[in-house]
Amino acid sequence: MAALAERHDITLVARMEPEERDAAIALRPVLTGLHTLTFARPEGPLAAATIIGSYVRLGRMAQRIQDAGDFDVVHVEWLETGLGMRRTSEVGRVNVAIDELTKPARRRAGLAEGTAARARGELGLRAITLLQHRICAKFDVVLALSEQDRDRIRALEPDTDVRFLPFPVGVEPEKLSGATRDDDHLLFVGAMNRDTNIDAITWFCAEVLPLVRAQRPGVRLTIAGAAPADEVLALGDDPGIEVTGFVEDLEPYLARATVFVSPLRVGGGIIAKNIDAMASGLPVVTSTIANEGVDATAGEHVLLADAPQAFADAVLALLGDPARRARMAGAAQAFIAGRFGAQAGAAVLEEAHAAAIAAHTSG
């Protein structure tokens, strides 16, 4: 956004949690306008519905501001935000599909056990596919954060202009230069009320961590991320596991850890936590699913494993070999810098905005 603001007038409409407000205010000097919708992350059985409702409110707020202003293009983050926007628009629209919505639904359906659960999974997949179709129809250009998601959306939405947008690195690697890393310290990062992260870390602690501890009993695990669910909080009862909840700054955690673990079994889009860990010089062990959008090379930039023993073996291999950790971390940092730099992403956005304006004008 700061790079685009060097050449364009930008009005930002943002939904944020209370602790995120300062980050939006910090952007005010480069913005033409700033409108905020405060959102307290919910808990309990209605949390998902409340979060979806917040996307609808954000979309409606953006629609009102669009109607009242004089804009050349409307840039929308998250497909879900399109729920609250009108089907037609007076100006060009671009959507950044942070997640391709059908991918998690397909994988949940694939993990379902039993006839009833599989039927529910299939119905859920059909519903989310229809929803994604209706949202994409509202936009002139849709940007996916991985080539795989781009190709999937193109297959589902052949009439939509779908492109690839490199995901920006979310950490400042220079803050971690010269970091002194702990021994035998694993790190997992994520919003810990999201089902994909809950599934990943509970599976890891139940199936993988005991195998690692069998050979390295002193290994520690830090789980860093906002709003941990009850089953995640319960993991902290283990004296070797720390559940931090929300942290203001991830860099100190990324600087101290020995190995980053990302054992996602369900997910879509780009796995930003992997990008940030690699950019930080932290060696990564991850699942095939979690690497799809990043497309790092197995054995060179990351270690890939899906089964419990294979994942444990990969973690143990890195914990026991400092030289290998250093080689992999250096290769990963160079890979991320070349593939996910901020200026490359800004150039793609410029092209997408111009295409949306042209498509809307010509239509």
Domain residue spans in the chain?
A: 2-166+341-362, 173-339
- Where the chain has pLDDT below 70, the residues are 173-175, 177-178, 268-270, 362-363
CATH architecture assigned to 173-339: 3-Layer(aba) Sandwich (3.40)
Q: CATH code for 2-166+341-362?
A: 3.40.50.2000
The Cβ-side half-sphere exposure at 307, using a 13 Å CA radius, reads 3
Residue 221 DSSP class: E
User: Which pLDDT score is estimated for 177?
Assistant: 67
User: Which pLDDT score is estimated for 109?
Assistant: 82
Residue 26 tokens, joined: 């910090």
Residue owning tokens 């929300």: 246
Largest CA distance in the chain: 65
User: Which pLDDT score is estimated for 269?
Assistant: 57
The SS3 of residue 179 is coil
Q: How far apart are CA 149 and CA 270, in angstroms?
A: 9
User: Which pLDDT score is estimated for 355?
Assistant: 95
pLDDT tens-place string over residues 56-103? 999 999 999 999 999 999 999 999 999 999 998 989 999 999 888 888
* Ordered strands of the 259-262 beta sheet: 241-245, 220-224, 185-189, 259-262, 284-286, 303-304
Query: pTM of the entire structure?
Result: 0.68
pLDDT tens-place string over residues 197-217? 999 999 999 999 999 999 999
Residue 313 tokens, joined: 């073996």
User: Which pLDDT score is estimated for 33?
Assistant: 93
Q: How far apart are CA 363 and CA 98, in angstroms?
A: 27
Given this chain, do its domains 2-166+341-362 and 173-339 carry the same CATH topology?
Answer: yes
User: Which pLDDT score is estimated for 90?
Assistant: 87
User: Which pLDDT score is estimated for 270?
Assistant: 67
* Ordered strands of the 161-164 beta sheet: 73-77, 92-97, 141-144, 161-164
